[in-house]
Chains A and B, each alone.
Chain A
Amino acid sequence: MEVRENIISILVNNKPDVLARIAGTFSGRGFNIESISANVMMNPAITKIIITTRGNKQTVTKMEKQLHKLVDVLQVDDLTDVDSACGEMILIRIKLTEENKGKVMKAINTYNWRVVSMDPSSCIVEVTGDKELIDDALALLAPLGMDDFTRTGCIVLKRCKS
């Protein structure tokens, strides 16, 4: 069976140890968490966690069943093959010099990236979009004097069936 990236959305009780339980379930069963994001819902007692992990469908299904057994897990959805909106965000810091300044500004303008901070010697660019778009932005800016970056990892939301 094909190994691929899977996206799992988990609703949990908002408790201090719940993330440790989920992480422990992944590591204990031999899975690696590729990316993770968590946010408190409108009801602050509940947190949504989005995890991406590599594996084939069968093993990921087993993983989901194990997650389901955790007392503080309320709901597990595998969104890998579900019609959903998916996005990430990256913040990229670039050291500006006389040589690269022109190229950096050109890229920013071409792709319409948002500049969140700018001073004479450096700038921070924000890019949002799907994984490929972010990968492309990284590939483009890395040789242009990229200094550091922070990437959120994937967040997803299922589309409503109308």
Chain B
Amino acid sequence: MQLTGSQILFKILKEENVDTIFGYPGGSVMDIYDELFRQNIKHILVRHEQGAVHAADGYARVSGKVGVCLVTSGPGATNTVTGLANAYMDSIPLVVFTGQVQTWLIGNDAFQEVDITGITRPCTKHNFLVRRIEDVATTIKEAFRIARSGRPGPVLVDLPKDVIQTRIDEAELKYSISLPDKPVIPNAKRCAKALDLLKKAQKPVIISGGGVLLGRASEELRSFARVLNIPVTSTLMGLGTFPASDPLWLGMLGMHGTYYANMAVSYSDLLIAVGVRFDDRVTSNVEAFAPHAQIIHIDIDPASIDKIVKSHLSIVGDCKPALQWFNKEITSGRLSLPAEQIKSWRQQIRQWKEKFPLAYCRSKKIKPQCVIETLWKITNGEAIITTEVGQNQMWTAQFYRFDRPNTFISSGGLGTMGFGLPAAIGAQVACPGKLVVDIAGDGSIQMNIQELATAVQYNIPVKVVILNNNFLGMVRQWQELFFDKRYSHTDMSHAPDFVKLAEAYGATGFRASAPDEVETVLKKGLHTRGPVMMDFEVEPEECVYPMVKSGDPLTEMSLGDSNIVA
């Protein structure tokens, strides 16, 4: 039997257990879309290719599978760049298929030709331009393997139109079935060295990062921390790896981290950093970061080790087997931390927690933090939450208490406004039975608002909570604090009526203008079928605290008025 390139594509997608594609058609992928018409695979037609990539990204984060996109050449391909860069920074496994002009036209500035492999080289884990029908199967297989292996990441496969159209005898179709990747087992000798450091620790702290989610090691991390009674903080990407309801939880670390997490790290004598890469939003001033601590750094990517913070002991490998190794040492009695040894440290942390808990003042206006806190309460902390970028994202990280892995979906490394709505759509597609909420700012939501049409078309019942402050809030906050309140171009008051806009798209809209409406509107919104957009008119000039000014030591936090307990 003869197979076209398109048919081979779908054959391999099936073998890779792909059941959903996010995409947008165009000239160079018409043959693929024609084949798709006959195939039994779910395709979500987005309204912008950036939305497709973010949706696939959200899908991948929630399901643990590789997210897949299909877009046309030229502008379709360039529209994926932000999505790819976003997934690359957060190490999310994606395979993005782009159409390309016919091989004989490549290099001729043909209609809708762009050198997309050239453009995306620095923002993909790898990319391919497939020039021969014989290579289609192997390349796609390889793309999936690369996307999910080691430190995951996005892979782009550029498919010229003629390659897709060509037929090949199925018998000639030779490709190896790639084996599932084996985890990278860390070196036991190095782990053993960590034992000595651990046993001596008097002020230990664990920093858990996105790598713990990617390595599916939350269970192991929880048991490790709990048995040894080590307090845990996490990066933004690591939220959910350790339950926020656990007394050992310190909250998030870094620029908008909690007072006690930043203090604990700054006074700790042993940091166990698992699956983190020490982003500058986490370390702030690297020289002043954890000045008293020995650092054990566990990570899958050797390039992350000593890239920013010099570790005293590095363990390269999957964090799951690494933590399993330590947990085994604990069960066999070779590793323990006597309660007495860390008693005063735990006391100290308790004091810090009592001194400056996360808090905010109430006022006549709706407080954005209150919206998130109420959402957390009425969802029992069980929703999947995506965020946009800015204050909304930081308040979510602070006030929604994540107990489970893969329930906080946010653009960490790139900070991409417009991520939240399409990511929520992807997450909802991966988990149809779950409640998925995008917590948004009035600025960010307008960056990919068109995806509301996608949600309505497929009845993807995502709920959007807009913390509408009529500003590009986070930028305004910096202007207030560091630019003498010169609010240069951060006024967003020329916005659409979001309730009417929701209705125009065929979704449902609600608005809350006063504090006493928050709970009712949230409940109404969450219980309404289908996609819902809720517009909360919040205090326009509220700031996120605590805040460490970029480049200051973590101990130099400005606490604003957040120390006034609600």
Q: Which residues of A pack against B, CB within 8 Å?
A: 17, 20-21, 24, 28, 61-62, 65-66, 68-71
List chain B residues, Cβ under 8 A from A28: 122
The reply to whether B303 and A65 contact each other, CB–CB distance below 8 Å, is: yes
List chain B residues, Cβ under 8 A from A68: 302-303
Q: Does B117 make an interface contact (CB < 8 A)?
A: yes
The reply to whether B121 and A21 contact each other, CB–CB distance below 8 Å, is: yes
The reply to whether A62 and B122 contact each other, CB–CB distance below 8 Å, is: no
- Knowing A17-B117, A66-B303, the reply to whether A71 touches B146 (Cβ < 8 A) is yes
Complex CA distance for A8 and B306, rounded to whole angstroms: 20
Smallest beta-carbon distance A27→chain B, Å: 9
Complex CA distance for A65 and B150, rounded to whole angstroms: 14
Smallest beta-carbon distance B144→chain A, Å: 13
The reply to whether A20 and B302 contact each other, CB–CB distance below 8 Å, is: no
7 closest cross-chain pairs (CB), A and B: A65-B303, A71-B126, A28-B122, A24-B121, A65-B302, A66-B303, A24-B122
Query: Apart from A62-B307, A65-B305, A65-B307, what are 9 other A-B pairs with CB-CB below 8 Å?
Result: A17-B117, A17-B129, A21-B121, A24-B121, A61-B306, A65-B303, A68-B302, A69-B303, A71-B146
Q: Does B219 make an interface contact (CB < 8 A)?
A: no
List chain B residues, Cβ under 8 A from A70: 126
Complex CA distance for A17 and B301, rounded to whole angstroms: 24
The reply to whether B118 and A20 contact each other, CB–CB distance below 8 Å, is: yes
Smallest beta-carbon distance A77→chain B, Å: 15
Contact with A along B136-150 (1 / 0, CB 8 A): 000000000010000
Complex CA distance for A68 and B307, rounded to whole angstroms: 14
Smallest beta-carbon distance A11→chain B, Å: 17
Q: Which residues of B pack against A, CB within 8 Å?
A: 117-118, 121-122, 125-126, 129, 146, 301-303, 305-307
List chain A residues, Cβ under 8 A from B126: 70-71
List chain B residues, Cβ under 8 A from A66: 303
Complex CA distance for A161 and B14, rounded to whole angstroms: 51
A-B contact pairs, 16 of them (CB 8 A): A17-B117, A17-B118, A17-B121, A17-B129, A20-B118, A20-B121, A21-B121, A24-B121, A28-B122, A61-B306, A65-B302, A65-B303, A65-B307, A69-B301, A69-B303, A71-B126
Smallest beta-carbon distance B242→chain A, Å: 28
Complex CA distance for A17 and B302, rounded to whole angstroms: 24
Complex CA distance for A21 and B146, rounded to whole angstroms: 16
Smallest beta-carbon distance B62→chain A, Å: 26
Smallest beta-carbon distance B72→chain A, Å: 22
**Beta-carbon nearest neighbor of B127 in chain A:** A17
List chain B residues, Cβ under 8 A from A24: 121-122
Complex CA distance for A115 and B305, rounded to whole angstroms: 51
List chain A residues, Cβ under 8 A from B117: 17
List chain A residues, Cβ under 8 A from B307: 62, 65
Smallest beta-carbon distance A159→chain B, Å: 27
List chain B residues, Cβ under 8 A from A65: 302-303, 305, 307
List chain B residues, Cβ under 8 A from A61: 306
Smallest beta-carbon distance A22→chain B, Å: 11
List chain B residues, Cβ under 8 A from A20: 118, 121
**Beta-carbon nearest neighbor of B308 in chain A:** A62
Smallest beta-carbon distance A81→chain B, Å: 18
List chain B residues, Cβ under 8 A from A71: 125-126, 146
List chain A residues, Cβ under 8 A from B118: 17, 20
Complex CA distance for A20 and B117, rounded to whole angstroms: 11
List chain A residues, Cβ under 8 A from B129: 17
List chain B residues, Cβ under 8 A from A21: 121
**Beta-carbon nearest neighbor of B304 in chain A:** A65
Complex CA distance for A20 and B120, rounded to whole angstroms: 12
Complex CA distance for A64 and B85, rounded to whole angstroms: 22
**Beta-carbon nearest neighbor of A58 in chain B:** B306
List chain A residues, Cβ under 8 A from B122: 24, 28
List chain A residues, Cβ under 8 A from B306: 61-62
List chain A residues, Cβ under 8 A from B146: 71
Complex CA distance for A62 and B307, rounded to whole angstroms: 6
The reply to whether B121 and A62 contact each other, CB–CB distance below 8 Å, is: no
Smallest beta-carbon distance A63→chain B, Å: 10
Smallest beta-carbon distance A119→chain B, Å: 40
**Beta-carbon nearest neighbor of A65 in chain B:** B303
Residue of B118, B122, B303 with most chain A CB atoms under a 10 A cut-off:
B303
List chain A residues, Cβ under 8 A from B303: 62, 65-66, 68-69
Complex CA distance for A69 and B306, rounded to whole angstroms: 15
Complex CA distance for A17 and B106, rounded to whole angstroms: 15
Complex CA distance for A66 and B302, rounded to whole angstroms: 9
Smallest beta-carbon distance A85→chain B, Å: 29
**Beta-carbon nearest neighbor of B310 in chain A:** A58
Complex CA distance for A144 and B305, rounded to whole angstroms: 52
List chain A residues, Cβ under 8 A from B302: 65, 68
Complex CA distance for A45 and B366, rounded to whole angstroms: 65
Complex CA distance for A50 and B101, rounded to whole angstroms: 35
**Beta-carbon nearest neighbor of A69 in chain B:** B303
List chain A residues, Cβ under 8 A from B301: 69
Complex CA distance for A65 and B146, rounded to whole angstroms: 17
**Beta-carbon nearest neighbor of B118 in chain A:** A20
Complex CA distance for A131 and B279, rounded to whole angstroms: 40
Smallest beta-carbon distance B211→chain A, Å: 15
Smallest beta-carbon distance A45→chain B, Å: 14
List chain B residues, Cβ under 8 A from A17: 117-118, 121, 129
Residue of A20, A28, A65, A68 with most chain B CB atoms under a 10 A cut-off:
A65
Smallest beta-carbon distance A59→chain B, Å: 10
Smallest beta-carbon distance A101→chain B, Å: 48
Complex CA distance for A68 and B302, rounded to whole angstroms: 9
Smallest beta-carbon distance A12→chain B, Å: 13
Complex CA distance for A62 and B277, rounded to whole angstroms: 14
Complex CA distance for A62 and B304, rounded to whole angstroms: 9
List chain A residues, Cβ under 8 A from B121: 17, 20-21, 24
**Beta-carbon nearest neighbor of A21 in chain B:** B121
**Beta-carbon nearest neighbor of A17 in chain B:** B117
Complex CA distance for A71 and B146, rounded to whole angstroms: 8
Complex CA distance for A17 and B115, rounded to whole angstroms: 12
Complex CA distance for A71 and B301, rounded to whole angstroms: 14
Smallest beta-carbon distance B154→chain A, Å: 13
Complex CA distance for A66 and B305, rounded to whole angstroms: 11
Complex CA distance for A28 and B306, rounded to whole angstroms: 19
